[in-house]
Amino acid sequence: MATLAELVREHTKLEQPVTAHLQRLVGSWGTLSDLCFADLLLFVPVDGSDDRFVVVGQVRPTTNQTLHLEDLVGRVMGVDDRPLLARAWQLGSVVEGEVSIPSRNERGRQVVIPVRWQDELVALMTRESALSVGRRPGELERVYVEVFDRLARMIAAGEFPFPIDEVVTSEMPRVGDGVLVLDASARVDYASPNAVNALHRLGIYSGIEGVSLDEAGLDQSAVKVAFATRLPATEEVTEGSDSMVFRCVPLLDKGNITGALVLLRDVSELRRRDRLLLSKDAAIREVHHRVKNNLQTISSLLRLQSRRLPQGEARHALEESERRVRSIALVHEILSRDTTDEVDFNDILPSLVRMAEDLGSSDRPVHITTTGETGELQAALATPLAVVITELLQNAAEHAFPEGSTVDIKTIRVTVDLERTPTSLRVTVRDNGVGLPPGFVIEDTASLGLSIVRSLVGSQLGGTINMRTDGGTIVELVIPVDNSPEDLEKL
């Protein structure tokens, strides 16, 4: 589906500042729709005409049933479809009347409101509702519609939306959460039942109407800021374990503040969940930290034990085990620093490279280079992958030039190429050694290290491995990275 900006570029010659004004209107008009209990549509003229308009925005109310079941965004309408649009555009003023709704085979009520930017008529916003279906009118409905009418006059005068880009989050209060209407002196003219209940949770039980929030015992900075700047302001107030978000929208008339709309929402439960998540994240980091410490302890014990043995297979086996344990500890060390269950594998690679380069000798040092990016990997992938790359680098360092090799190369050079796609990670490990022995088949290998690699790639990583000789040994791994943690557990 095309965005508002794309539709404006396709059908009009409006400049970017005008488009930004329309985007700000669409970004905040959920409140308008809820206040007037009606659908809102935003129209712009097609190529500057005054009789053809394209719908660039649509919103439905949460306080009433919708009139339009279908999505109208992108639809071009002419005089026959919406005759009031052409009239409102020509007059440049609010026009009211009835409109035909073909999808419902009935008629609806339409109010067309001019949208101005810097005194220029740039669009039309329509309020559309059923003729006979709606809420029974009462004080709440009357007040809400009056506030909508005030905001509609601001739209027609170019005073709304406000010339600031606001970050709209899921925690922003809606009309249904609670509404206060303030007069020009910041005293409460009206408080909805939900707003009264919310204030009770903050300890305000006395009558709120006719007094300011300060006088009621609530230091409300958002109201003060909104009245001082004539711009909307949002603040969160906490009393004990209760938290409330206040959003104050000033109501203007020719630049003069005539009152304000205050939306408030009880977010106590959300904050409680946030605290639980923070506690959980801290616990997870502590677990990774302790696992890392335990693995480092095991690594140290293996290293001490290996040093007590004479040179030979037993000592070599302990040294290999110590490196494998250390590579796993590196993953948990990275995980202990973050709140997520993902790691950037490029943060782990340098330590794996240093371990492999330490296997070199003064006669034939090992030089390893890495290229490419892995991006974020789930811990269930990162841990076995760290062991796999450790084994491959160790294999290259120890076996690229076996004893008796006549190849006269002073330095063992190994490259690790990483290539990430949306669905897979390709890892290529290449050395400048003598290559694989004749008839080599990884499935039949007697090497413990390569057996570990084959097992981890197939069982825990769900990938494939290919080894061949081409100017040295080349090992290619292809690992899927779009698996969910649940899928990885099943491998």
Residue matched to tokens 């008629």: 107
Residue 238, pLDDT > 60, answer yes
Task: Output the CATH code of domain 344-491.
Answer: 3.30.565.10
Rounded to the nearest 10°, the torsion over CA 215, 216, 222, 226 is: -50
Is 4-135+148-157 in CATH node 3.30.450.280? yes
What's the average model confidence in pLDDT over 206-233?
88
| Cβ(4)–Cβ(10) below 8 Å | no
Q: Is 233 exposed, middle or buried (0-12, 13-18, 19+ CB in 10 A)?
A: buried
Q: DSSP string of 398-440? A: HHSS-TT-----SSEEEEEEEEE-SSEEEEEEEESS--PPTT-
Residue 339, pLDDT > 60, answer no
pLDDT band at residue 100 under the 50/70/90 scheme: confident
What's the average model confidence in pLDDT over 257-263?
96
- Which range of 85-94, 168-177, 354-363 scores highest in mean pLDDT? It is 85-94
| Cβ(337)–Cβ(285) below 8 Å | yes
**Segments in 204-345 forming alpha helices (H):** 221-229, 268-307, 313-335
What's the average model confidence in pLDDT over 336-348?
74
- Which range of 105-109, 332-336, 407-411 scores highest in mean pLDDT? It is 105-109
Q: Percentage of the chain with pLDDT > 90?
A: 40
Task: Output the CATH code of domain 175-266.
Answer: 3.30.450.20
What's the average model confidence in pLDDT over 284-312?
77
Which pLDDT value is given to residue 488?
47
Residue 37, pLDDT > 90, answer yes
CA 251/CA 420 separation, integer angstroms? 52
Q: Percentage of the chain with pLDDT > 70?
A: 88
- Which range of 128-142, 306-320, 443-457, 467-481 scores highest in mean pLDDT? It is 467-481
Q: Which residues contact 303 (CB under 8 A, 6 or more apart)?
A: 318, 319, 322
Residue 275, pLDDT > 70, answer no
Which pLDDT value is given to residue 288?
63
Residue 179, pLDDT > 50, answer yes
- What value does the mean pLDDT of the chain take? 85
The residue count of the chain comes to 491
| Cβ(263)–Cβ(178) below 8 Å | yes
Which pLDDT value is given to residue 26?
94
Residue 106, pLDDT > 70, answer yes
Listed by start position, the domains of the chain span: 4-135+148-157, 175-266, 268-340, 344-491
Which pLDDT value is given to residue 291?
74
Query: Per DSSP, what are the bridge partners of residue 251?
Result: 259
Which CA distances in Å does 400 have to 405, 414, 435, 450, 474?
9, 9, 7, 14, 11
Look at 275 and 218; give whichever has higher pLDDT: 218
CA 348/CA 312 separation, integer angstroms? 30
Residue 59, pLDDT > 60, answer yes
Which pLDDT value is given to residue 491?
46
Which pLDDT value is given to residue 280?
60
Which pLDDT value is given to residue 379?
76
Which pLDDT value is given to residue 295?
76
Residue 486, pLDDT > 60, answer no
Which pLDDT value is given to residue 472?
86
| Nearest by Cα to 414 from 396, 426, 437 | 396
Which pLDDT value is given to residue 284?
61
Whether the domain at 4-135+148-157 and the domain at 175-266 fall into the same CATH topology: yes
pLDDT band at residue 96 under the 50/70/90 scheme: very high
What's the average model confidence in pLDDT over 370-394?
85
Beta strands in 177-278 (DSSP E): 179-182, 188-191, 233-239, 242-253, 256-266
Beta strands in 29-144 (DSSP E): 39-45, 52-59, 76-78, 95-101, 106-117, 120-130
Look at 212 and 325; give whichever has higher pLDDT: 212
